[in-house]
C-alpha cells in the first residue's frame, strides 16, 4: 500500500507541545503514514526542550532563530529556507499549527508549491488584527490557504463557517494540547521550587505577547508585586520567556522581592505539574488558557481580548487587561474573597478529551 506522506512544520514552544502528540500518533500508524518533521527553529532552546521531552527528532531543522528577530526576519527566513525542503520531500499534505509566523510562512510556502495544507487549531478568532499581534493575522491567513481545518471546538468551527469555509472540510477534533496534558501531570510529582513554596498560596506567572512588550508589561508586573506585598502568605514562580525584552522588564520591576522567584523556562512536564499545584495563574499566554480549565486552575488573563472564549464561559478564565489598577483589583479580589476564588476553580474540559491527534490522523487517512 502506498503511504500518505505528511510533513508537520513547527518552530516555537507552544506549537511543539501541541504538534508532538500528533507526530507520535502519525508515527505510530507507520503502515498508513510516512511522517516528516520540519522545525524552523523560530525558538531554539524553548523548542529543543519540548522535542527532548517528547523524544521527537526532526528530519529537517531550518535553524532560523536570531536574537531580537523581527517579523520580517522570521517570515523571510522560513519562506526561503523551507522551499528546498518542500520541493525535495514533496509531501501529500503539510500540517501547520495555530498562529505563529512560522505557521504563516510555512503555509504560504506550501501554498506557492500547491501542496494541500491542514491547519491544526483552526478557527480561533478575536477579529482584531492587532490583538493578539501578529497572531490574529497569521491564523486568518493560514485559514485562507488551508484545505483541512482541524477546529478544536464548536465555537472555532462556527467561526470558520461564518467565513464561508467549506463545511465538509471542517473537523472538530479537540485541542492537541490536551492530548499532551494527559501524559504529563502526575501524582507524587516533586520539585525543589515547589518545596520552597510549600505552605504558601502559589502563583505561576508567564508573559511574552509582542503587543504587551514595554509599558503594558511593566504595569502587569507592578500590579502583581503590589498585591503580593500586601499578602504575606503568597509566593510566586515565574519561569521567564527567553525574549530579552521580557527579561529586562521583569527584572526592572520584580528584582529584590524574595517571595517571587524568576527562573528559567520549565520543561513542559514540570510546567504542567507546577500548574496543577498552583493556586492561581497570571498570564498572557494562549496555550495556558486551554490547559488551565482541565486542571481547574483560575487564570487571570492579562490581555484585552481572547480567542479562547470557551475558558471564559467555563468560568476558569477572567480577562483583566493590562492596566495596573484593574489587575491589582481583580487579583486582590481573588485572594480576599473565597467564594469568588472557588467559583473559578472547578475543572472542565472545553478543549477536548485528549484524543484530538487520533481524530486528525483519521481524517487525513480518509481524505488522502
Cell readout for 287 is 496555550
**Nearer CB in complex with ligand UDP: 56/266:** 266
The site partner of 279 among ligand UD1, ligand UDP, none (C-beta below 5 to 8 Å per kind) is none
**Nearer CB in complex with ligand UDP: 13/157:** 13
**Nearer CB in complex with ligand UD1: 96/172:** 96
Beta-strand ranges (E) seen in 208-325 are 234-239, 260-263, 280-283, 299-301, 317-319
Bridge partners for 95 per DSSP: 8, 118
CA dihedral 53, 307, 11, 67 (to 10 degrees): -110
The sign of the CA dihedral 160, 161, 164, 170 is positive
C-alpha to C-alpha distance for 351 and 120, rounded to whole angstroms:
13
- The correct pick among 265, 312, 319, 349 for binding ligand UDP (CB under 6 A) is 265
Active site residue 186: no
Active site residue 208: yes
Neighbours of 54 (CB within 10 A): 18
Active site residue 210: yes
- In this structure, the chain runs to a length of 368
The site partner of 218 among ligand UD1, ligand UDP, none (C-beta below 5 to 8 Å per kind) is none
Q: Catalytic residue among 15, 135, 270, 291, which?
A: 135
* Stretch binding ligand UDP (CB under 6 A), from 1-9, 195-203, 265-273, 322-330: 265-273
CA 42 to chain centre: 14
Closest CA to 82 of 145, 9, 18: 9
Q: Catalytic residue among 61, 77, 121, 324, which?
A: 121
Cα angle value 34/40/42 (rounded, 5°):
150
The site partner of 206 among ligand UD1, ligand UDP, none (C-beta below 5 to 8 Å per kind) is ligand UDP
**Nearer CB in complex with ligand UD1: 69/183:** 69
Inter-residue contact 45 to 13 (CB < 8 Å): no
* Stretch binding ligand UDP (CB under 6 A), from 74-82, 86-94, 284-292, 356-364: 284-292
Binding to ligand UD1 by residue 72, rule CB under 6 A? no
Tell me the closest approach of the beta carbon of residue 39 to ligand UD1, in angstroms.
Answer: 12
Q: Catalytic residue among 208, 272, 277, 279, which?
A: 208
Size of the site for ligand UDP (CB under 6 A): 17
C-alpha to C-alpha distance for 364 and 19, rounded to whole angstroms:
15
- The correct pick among 102, 140, 156, 206 for binding ligand UDP (CB under 6 A) is 206
C-alpha to C-alpha distance for 19 and 368, rounded to whole angstroms:
20
Residues tagged active-site: 99, 121, 135, 208, 210, 241
Site residues, ligand UD1 (CB under 6 A) = 12-14, 42-46, 67-69, 71, 74, 99-101, 134-135, 208, 210, 242-244, 286
Amino acid at each position: 500500500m502506498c503511504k500518505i506522506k505528511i510533513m508537520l512544520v513547527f518552530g516555537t514552544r507552544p506549537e511543539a507541545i501541541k504538534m508532538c502528540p500528533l507526530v507520535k500518533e502519525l508515527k505510530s500508524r507507520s503502515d498508513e503514514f510516512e511522517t516528516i518533521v520540519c522545525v524552523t527553529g523560530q525558538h531554539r532552546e524553548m523548542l529543543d526542550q519540548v522535542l527532548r521531552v517528547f523524544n521527537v527528532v526532526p528530519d529537517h531543522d531550518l535553524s532560523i532563530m536570531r536574537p531580537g528577530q523581527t517579523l520580517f526576519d522570521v517570515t523571510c527566513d522560513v519562506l526561503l529556507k523551507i522551499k528546498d525542503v518542500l520541493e525535495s520531500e514533496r509531501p501529500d499534505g503539510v500540517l501547520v499549527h495555530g498562529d505563529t509566523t512560522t505557521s504563516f510562512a510555512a503555509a504560504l510556502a506550501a501554498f506557492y508549491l500547491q501542496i494541500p495544507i491542514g491547519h491544526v487549531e483552526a478557527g480561533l478568532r478575536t477579529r482584531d488584527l492587532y490583538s493578539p499581534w501578529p497572531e490574529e493575522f497569521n491564523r486568518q491567513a493560514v485559514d485562507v490557504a488551508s484545505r483541512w481545518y482541524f477546529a478544536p471546538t464548536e465555537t472555532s468551527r462556527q467561526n470558520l463557517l461564518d467565513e464561508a469555509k467549506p463545511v465538509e472540510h471542517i473537523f472538530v477534533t479537540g485541542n492537541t494540547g490536551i492530548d499532551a496534558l494527559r501524559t504529563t501531570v502526575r501524582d507524587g510529582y516533586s520539585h525543589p521550587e515547589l518545596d520552597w513554596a510549600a505552605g504558601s498560596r502559589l502563583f505561576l506567572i508567564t508573559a511574552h505577547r509582542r503587543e504587551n512588550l514595554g509599558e503594558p508589561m511593566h504595569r502587569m508586573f507592578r500590579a502583581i508585586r503590589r498585591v503580593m506585598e500586601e499578602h504575606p502568605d503568597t509566593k510566586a514562580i515565574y519561569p521567564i520567556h527567553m525574549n530579552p525584552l521580557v527579561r529586562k522588564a521583569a527584572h526592572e520591576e520584580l528584582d529584590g522581592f524574595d517571595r517571587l522567584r524568576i527562573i528559567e523556562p520549565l520543561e513542559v512536564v514540570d510546567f504542567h505539574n507546577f500548574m496543577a499545584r498552583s493556586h492561581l495563574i497570571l498570564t498572557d499566554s494562549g496555550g495556558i488558557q486551554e490547559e488551565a480549565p482541565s486542571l481547574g486552575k483560575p487564570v487571570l488573563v492579562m490581555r484585552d481580548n481572547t480567542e479562547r472564549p470557551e475558558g471564559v464561559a467555563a468560568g476558569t478564565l477572567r480577562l483583566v487587561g493590562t492596566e495596573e489598577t484593574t489587575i491589582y483589583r481583580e487579583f486582590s479580589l481573588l485572594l480576599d474573597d473565597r467564594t469568588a476564588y472557588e467559583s473559578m476553580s472547578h475543572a472542565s474540559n472545553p478543549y477536548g478529551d485528549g484524543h484530538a491527534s487520533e481524530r486528525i490522523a483519521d481524517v487525513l487517512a480518509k481524505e488522502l
